Amino acid sequence: MTYMSPNGATTLENKGLEVAMFRWSASSVDTTATLVADGSTWATAPSVSGGVITLPAGHYYALGTCGITRAATSQNVQFGFFVDGVLAGKTGQTDLYGGNASTNANSDLAEAVVTVNAGQTKTLEVRVTASQGTFPTITTDSAFVLMRSAR
């Protein structure tokens, strides 16, 4: 990415874009998902502990999807990204959680935008926020990408 310098000059600065991929799984609602790093272009690999990623200073965009195996079409989940323990951005879902094609306004993908100021850190985690019917099996197709631009 390219940004204008803070002083308004016409000099451009290249801050770079780093990308990390993760697979995730969960077995119940409102618990931190288990994360597995699945590749990264970050200069220093993201710090993950207990399913929580510690984010250093920078601008972030997280985009995730959820794959499930289910016995009935009524088995669906909603999921989202939590920043410092608070749901952030837009929740995602499997199939047509809570509605049908003509009335459901939810997105299949969860997404969140996070800015961490210099000298600070924030945490990022994935959680299933709700489920319908019997909790389905979350598959290894559940993944998210975390993009970072240095601040």
Q: Average model confidence (pLDDT) for the chain?
A: 85
Q: Which residues pair with 14 in a beta bridge?
A: 2
Residue identified by tokens 């204008």 is 4
Q: To which residue do tokens 């993760």 refer?
A: 22
Token digits of residue 47: 């710090």
Amino acid residing at 35: L
**β-pair partners for 107:** none
pLDDT digits (tens, 9 = 90+) for 74-129: 888 999 999 999 999 999 988 766 555 544 445 589 999 999 999 999 999 999 99
The predicted pLDDT at position 45 comes to 85
2 vs 98 pLDDT, higher one: 98
Residue 4: pLDDT above 60? no
Taking a C-beta distance cutoff of 8 angstroms, is the pair 51, 144 a contact? no
All domains of the chain in start order, with CATH: 16-149 (2.60.120.40)
What does pTM read for this prediction? 0.84
Determine the 3-state secondary structure of 33 from DSSP: coil
- The pLDDT confidence band at residue 144, using thresholds 50, 70 and 90, is very high
56 — pLDDT class (breaks 50, 70, 90): very high
**Taking residues 31-55, what's their average pLDDT?**
92
More confident call, 95 vs 145: 145
